Amino acid sequence: MKIITVIPLSKGIFKETLTYFTSLDIEPGAVITVPVRKKKIDALVVGTENLSSSKGAVKSSAFSLKKIDRVKGERILPEIFLKSAFKIKDYVAASGSAVLSAILPKIFLESYEKLEITQGEESAPQNNLKQEKLVLQNSPEERMSFYKTFIRESFARRKSVFITLPTINDIELFHKSLSRGIENYTFVFHNEIKKKQFIASYNALGKVNHPVLIIATVPYLFLLNRKFEAVIVERESASAYKMPARPYLDMRTWAEILAREYGIKIIFADTLLRMETLWRAQNYELAEAAAISFRLSKIKREIVDMKKNKTFAVLSAELRQILKETVKSGGRSFLFAHRKGLSSITICNDCQTPIFCENCGKPLVLYESEAKKRFFMCRHCRHKKDALVTCNTCQSWNLRPLGIGCDLVYEEVRKEFPKAHVFRIDKENIKSAKEAEKTMADFYKTPGAILVGTEMALYYLTEKIENTAVVSFDSLFGIPNFKINEKIMHILLLLEAHTKESVLIQTRNKDEDTLSQFLSGNLSEFARQEIKSREEFNYPPFFTPIKIIYRGPKVNLEKTAAYLENFLKEYNPSVFRAFVPKMKNDYILNTVLKVKRENWSLPEIALGGNLDPKLLAKLQILSPHLSVQVDPDDLL
């Protein structure tokens, strides 16, 4: 009889390991199915021992061991992969179960019994050369040209290449451009791939006697081995690389750790890299794959000051003229609005208080249904409310909508250009990726078409458009987030990347440095100022912020705040109500620590980096009711 120690491969289980018994001989690394409470889950075997050697411990245990359900298959995941997973587990102060569930795609476990085991990958000799960590900051066209050459040269050295991208749409674009001539050696993986196709592609990878190109989302990095020349993290600045839920992994960090363990190159690439990455390049932690370029294309950029209008206008005279000429010539235009709905905020004219959500306290957004009935909806908790309401504070009916939402832009464009084909892409009107792709395809094949969309639309653009415009995103400047200027710049760069002739920005903040730096076409000053302000206020990359979140009943807020202030007092915690203070019936409390980078990093990421062992021990024993985010994008 054997005692089996396993790591559960399921979210929501906070125990590091579980123990079972079996009569079968099972090697560490195998995947089995085990009973947990009233359901069966997958688990990774990490240890086995004979019952006879631990009989005393079993007899004295307060609970009886359960028998495993069945064995799904022998070990497939390399030891290097598991070693890397345990390193990042400590970095994000999470359980092994949570991390493994996050870095392995669900389809991998579902298909495990049909996957063929490949041998010999880990026995490959490692060279003694220092691992190369590179950056590539250039235009999308220049980067694509670099990849074509890099893949060709890697194949000549009998080495494979892995390109990871944040979205499925990005993967399809890269596959179309990079697979020509090497179709039989190009493999695509993402979360919409069918199980049958995944099994066929996975098993084919183990048999092909030729270097391969893998284009995939980050969870498929488990396919790496030492036969690869490099991992390329394309569109490195994309927020999609950061997990929005436990264990809040930054998958770019995971890619870097895994590449380091395998001893293969990693290349971070984008039109504008994150400020943390640029700082690392400036300090020689990362080398340049090609000279870093801060220059933008030579298209026309224009800012329109909306304050000059004496009356409220959705479309400026300049934008209306551009649309008129583009429609007449059969070209296409894209109008970006940051917010959904008609207006992003509604205030009381008498007391100047916004109409807010009763559930979470955030301002309500005004929408209009297809039946032309207006209503309020909270974009955080989705709570709906009839538009015929009074002020929450003074009960006045004198309410005034402010801000420009996507729906308002759509209606205004249809009114101004009744003969033009107007399309719209936002989360309220587009319910699936296929619907978005169809809308975008119809837009591209329609001469004189106008597309109105939120940030969602940016990720479905596949071809360049004659003219693009920002109708309104001034609300972004008011968000108290240390990365907001970087977010604004990345939106503008995504727009420019899909523009042939001109980008126009309507704003009431024309003197903002971010806008003037974009207008100049040179991003070096933007990067310099951002890095300088990060250093001044102890933000990344100089410090690693750690946010601890409590979400629960109001009655526990003060008790939790007092506990965390005392428990973490030597790290000078900042304890405060969250920017969104309430979600449905739960109240939210944030505790933020700012730890020097050298005291919360890994040697695989930063030279001399380490994890403060005392702080790590404290974070690991926190209650499951408290979630830990390491290096969050938002501190509030």
- CB 185 within 8 Å of CB 210: yes
What whole-number distance in Å separates Cα of residue 8 and Cα of residue 461? Answer: 40
Domain shared by 268 and 195, yes or no: yes
Could you tell me the pLDDT band of residue 388, with boundaries at 50, 70 and 90? Answer: confident
Domain shared by 324 and 411, yes or no: yes
In this structure, which amino acid lies at residue 290?
A: A
Contacts of 96 by beta carbon, 8 Å cutoff, 6+ apart? 7, 16, 17, 85, 86, 89
Domain shared by 354 and 378, yes or no: yes
- Reported as half-sphere exposure (CB side, CA atoms, 13 A), residue 481 has a value of 16
* Residue among 525, 513, 518, 609 nearest 280 (CA): 609
What is the reported pLDDT for 338?
Answer: 84
pLDDT at residue 52 tops 70: no
Q: Which helix (H) or strand (E) holds 31?
A: strand 31-36
Could you tell me the pLDDT band of residue 130, with boundaries at 50, 70 and 90? Answer: low
Domain shared by 183 and 250, yes or no: yes
* DSSP helix/strand/coil, 513: helix
In a domain, 457, yes or no: yes
- For the chain, give the percent of residues with pLDDT over 90: 63
What is the reported pLDDT for 380?
Answer: 64
Secondary structure tally for the chain: helices H, strands E: 18, 28
pLDDT at residue 360 tops 60: yes
CB count within 10 Å of CB 415 equals 10
Q: What pLDDT, in 10s, does the model give residues 421-438?
A: 999 998 888 888 899 999
**What does the DSSP 8-state code read for residue 285?**
S
pLDDT at residue 121 tops 60: no
What whole-number distance in Å separates Cα of residue 247 and Cα of residue 26? Answer: 29
* DSSP helix/strand/coil, 402: strand
What whole-number distance in Å separates Cα of residue 176 and Cα of residue 417? Answer: 35
Domain shared by 525 and 381, yes or no: yes
Domain shared by 485 and 565, yes or no: no
Residue 434 tokens read as 């296929």
In a domain, 294, yes or no: no
**What does the DSSP 8-state code read for residue 575?**
E
Domain shared by 444 and 550, yes or no: no
Domain finish residue from 263, 288, 313:
288
Q: Which long-range contacts (CB under 8 A, 24 or more apart) does 604-608 make?
A: 604/87, 604/256, 604/257, 604/260, 604/261, 605/253, 605/256, 605/257, 606/285, 607/285
What is the reported pLDDT for 539?
Answer: 93
Domain shared by 344 and 464, yes or no: yes
Range with the lowest mean pLDDT among 207-221, 397-411, 500-514? 397-411
What is the reported pLDDT for 564?
Answer: 95
Question: What does the pLDDT average to over 311-340?
Answer: 92
CATH number at residue 160: 3.40.50.300
Specify burial of residue 530 (Cβ count, 10 A radius: 0-12, 13-18, 19+).
Answer: buried
Q: What pLDDT, in 10s, does the model give residues 447-491?
A: 999 999 999 999 899 899 999 999 988 778 767 788 999 999 999
Residue 318 tokens read as 């300049």
Please give the span between the terminal C-alpha atoms of the chain, in angstroms, as a whole number.
Answer: 52
- Please give the backbone phi and psi of residue 47, each rounded to the nearest 5 degrees, phi first: -165, 145
Range with the lowest mean pLDDT among 61-70, 195-204, 322-331, 587-596? 61-70
CA 234 to chain centre: 13
- CB 259 within 8 Å of CB 132: no
pLDDT at residue 63 tops 60: no
* Residue among 345, 357, 353 nearest 408 (CA): 345
Could you tell me the pLDDT band of residue 227, with boundaries at 50, 70 and 90? Answer: very high
Q: What pLDDT, in 10s, does the model give residues 541-590?
A: 999 999 999 999 988 999 999 999 999 999 999 999 887 777 777 889 99
In a domain, 451, yes or no: yes
Q: Which helix (H) or strand (E) holds 4?
A: strand 2-8
567 or 403, greater pLDDT: 567
**What does the DSSP 8-state code read for residue 262?**
H
- CB 629 within 8 Å of CB 248: yes
In a domain, 352, yes or no: yes
What is the reported pLDDT for 613?
Answer: 95
248 or 391, greater pLDDT: 248
pLDDT at residue 335 tops 70: yes
Distances (CA, A) of 221 to 63, 225, 313, 515: 38, 9, 49, 37
- CB 503 within 8 Å of CB 335: no
What is the reported pLDDT for 371?
Answer: 66
Is the bond into 541 cis (omega within 30 degrees of 0)? yes
In a domain, 107, yes or no: no
Domain finish residue from 532, 555, 583:
532
- Mean pLDDT of the residues in the chain: 88
What whole-number distance in Å separates Cα of residue 258 and Cα of residue 252? Answer: 10
Contacts of 15 by beta carbon, 8 Å cutoff, 6+ apart? 8, 95, 97
In a domain, 102, yes or no: no
What is the reported pLDDT for 622?
Answer: 94
- CB 258 within 8 Å of CB 242: no
Its domain, for residue 3, covers 1-75
> How many structural domains compose the chain?
4
Residue written as token pair 């969250």: 578
Domain finish residue from 236, 261, 288:
288
Is the bond into 247 cis (omega within 30 degrees of 0)? yes
In a domain, 115, yes or no: no
pLDDT at residue 374 tops 80: no
What one-character-per-residue DSSP string does 114-142 give? GPPPP-SSTTSPPP-SPPPEEEEES-HHH
Q: What pLDDT, in 10s, does the model give residues 175-201?
A: 999 999 999 999 999 999 999 999 999
Residue 222 tokens read as 């488990």
What whole-number distance in Å separates Cα of residue 467 and Cα of residue 520? Answer: 18
Domain shared by 472 and 375, yes or no: yes
CB count within 10 Å of CB 281 equals 18
Domain shared by 454 and 548, yes or no: no
- CB 208 within 8 Å of CB 202: no
What is the reported pLDDT for 402?
Answer: 65
Distances (CA, A) of 228 to 122, 225, 259, 458: 13, 6, 10, 32
In a domain, 96, yes or no: no
Sheet with 422-425: list strands edge to edge: 300-305, 499-507, 465-472, 333-337, 450-453, 422-425
Q: Give me the helix-helix angle, 317-329 and 406-416, nearest 10°.
A: 60
Radius of gyration over every alpha carbon of the chain, rounded to an integer in angstroms: 27
Domain shared by 560 and 491, yes or no: no
What is the reported pLDDT for 510?
Answer: 87
Contacts of 499 by beta carbon, 8 Å cutoff, 6+ apart? 299, 464, 465, 466, 467, 468
CATH number at residue 571: 3.30.70
Domain shared by 269 and 313, yes or no: no
